[in-house]
Amino acid sequence: MASELTDTGELYSPLVGLVYIFNLIVGTGALALPKAFGEGGWVISTLVIVMLAFMSFLTVTFVVEVMAASNALIRYRRKEKKKELEDSTSNSSDDVEDLMRDSDNEAKQRLLKDQDTLVKYSNVNAGRICRSHTDFFEITERVEMGQMVSLFFNKVGKVVFYICLVVYLYGDLAIYAVAVPKSLMNVTCNINGDDDKAECWKGHTISKINVYRIYLTLFTLILGPFVFFNVQKTKYLQYFTTVMRWFAFCTMIIAALVAIANGKGEGHPSKFSSITNVANLFGVSIYSFMCHHSLPSLVSPIRNKTKLTKLFAFDYILILSFYVFLCMTAIFCFATIEDLYTLNFSDNTVMPIKFFQYFLGLFPVFTLSASFPIIAITLRNNLQTLFSRTGQPRPWMINRIGFPLLTIIPPIIVAFVTMNVEFLVSFTGSYAGATIQYVFPSLLVYYCRKKTNRYLGEQNYHKHTSPFKSTLWIVFVNIWTVICIVLVTYYHISRKQ
With H, G, I as helix, E, B as strand and everything else as coil, classify residue 27. Answer: coil
- Distance from C-alpha of 269 to C-alpha of 113, rounded to nearest angstrom: 55
pLDDT value, residue 105: 52
The model's pLDDT over 238-287, given as tens digits with 9 standing for 90+, comes to 778 888 888 999 999 999 999 999 988 888 888 888 777 788 888 888 88
- Distance from C-alpha of 239 to C-alpha of 472, rounded to nearest angstrom: 41
The phi, psi pair for 12, rounded to 5°, reads -140, 165
The model's pLDDT over 420-459, given as tens digits with 9 standing for 90+, comes to 888 888 888 888 889 999 999 999 999 999 988 887 765 5
Q: Which domains does the chain have, with CATH numbers?
A: 14-496 (1.20.1740.10)
Is-contact 343 47, C-beta < 8 A?
no
DSSP summary character for residue 202: T
Of 135-144, 303-312, 316-325, where does mean pLDDT reach its minimum? 135-144
- Where helices occur in 387-439 by DSSP H, the ranges are 396-397, 403-417, 421-428, 434
Is-contact 256 342, C-beta < 8 A?
no
With H, G, I as helix, E, B as strand and everything else as coil, classify residue 199. Answer: strand
Cα angle value 351/352/356 (rounded, 5°):
60
Tell me the percentage of the chain whose pLDDT exceeds 90: 38
The phi, psi pair for 53, rounded to 5°, reads -65, -40
Structure-model confidence comparison of residues 481 and 137, the more confident one: 481
- Distance from C-alpha of 292 to C-alpha of 436, rounded to nearest angstrom: 7
pLDDT value, residue 302: 87
- Distance from C-alpha of 349 to C-alpha of 147, rounded to nearest angstrom: 52
Is-contact 147 78, C-beta < 8 A?
no
The model's pLDDT over 48-71, given as tens digits with 9 standing for 90+, comes to 999 999 999 999 999 999 999 999
- pTM of this prediction? 0.84
The string of DSSP codes covering 344-374 is: GGGSTTT---HHHHHHHHHHHHHHHHHHHHH
